[in-house]
């Protein structure tokens, strides 16, 4: 049987779901020892990312990354969260990063989809059109 980072993540979640405290710490330590023995420690970041993704899916949450040119005020974040929750029909967990190189606007990433409403993105698209480098 071939194991993948997602398979290890599922195994970790199913094993630790009902544990807490010292018991959880022991099982987690044994899990990582197992990963080490199976020579899969290079997968640790992928496994952790899969664990986070699977826990969010089970909890009915979606992780959304928002990159903004400047810090967004709480009212704007609240409006964005409500809008995304209505559109996705799930609870949204926002992770906001300030990226001044965007100039203005935001880039929203939901899973594998990316929505670019930044000035930099629009200028890049305009450059591609003008240079004839359009797919």
CA pair distance 112, 88, nearest whole angstrom: 14
* Residue 39 DSSP class: T
> Which sign, positive or negative, has the C-alpha torsion 34, 39, 45, 46?
negative
Backbone angles phi, psi at 118, to 5 degrees: -100, 155
CATH topology of domain 61-131: Glutaredoxin (3.40.30)
- Give the residue range(s) of CATH 3.40.30 domains in the chain: 61-131
pLDDT for 53-73, tens place per residue?
A: 787 777 777 888 999 999 999
Question: pTM value?
Answer: 0.57
- What pLDDT score was predicted for residue 1? 61
Assess whether pLDDT exceeds 70 at residue 84.
yes
- What pLDDT score was predicted for residue 25? 92
User: Quick one: average pLDDT of 26-53?
Assistant: 90
């Amino acid at each position: 049987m071939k194991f993948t980072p997602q398979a290890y993540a599922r195994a970790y979640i199913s094993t630790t779901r009902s544990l807490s405290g010292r018991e959880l710490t022991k099982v987690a330590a044994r899990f990582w020892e197992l990963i080490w023995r199976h020579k899969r420690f290079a997968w640790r970041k992928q496994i952790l990312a899969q664990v986070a993704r699977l826990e969010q899916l089970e909890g009915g949450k979606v992780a959304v990354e928002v990159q903004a040119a400047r810090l967004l005020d709480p009212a704007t974040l609240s409006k964005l969260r409500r809008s995304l929750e209505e559109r996705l029909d799930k609870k949204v967990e926002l992770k906001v990063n300030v990226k001044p190189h965007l100039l203005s606007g935001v880039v929203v990433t939901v899973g594998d989809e990316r929505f670019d409403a930044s000035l930099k993105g629009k200028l890049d698209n305009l450059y591609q059109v003008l240079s004839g480098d359009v797919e």
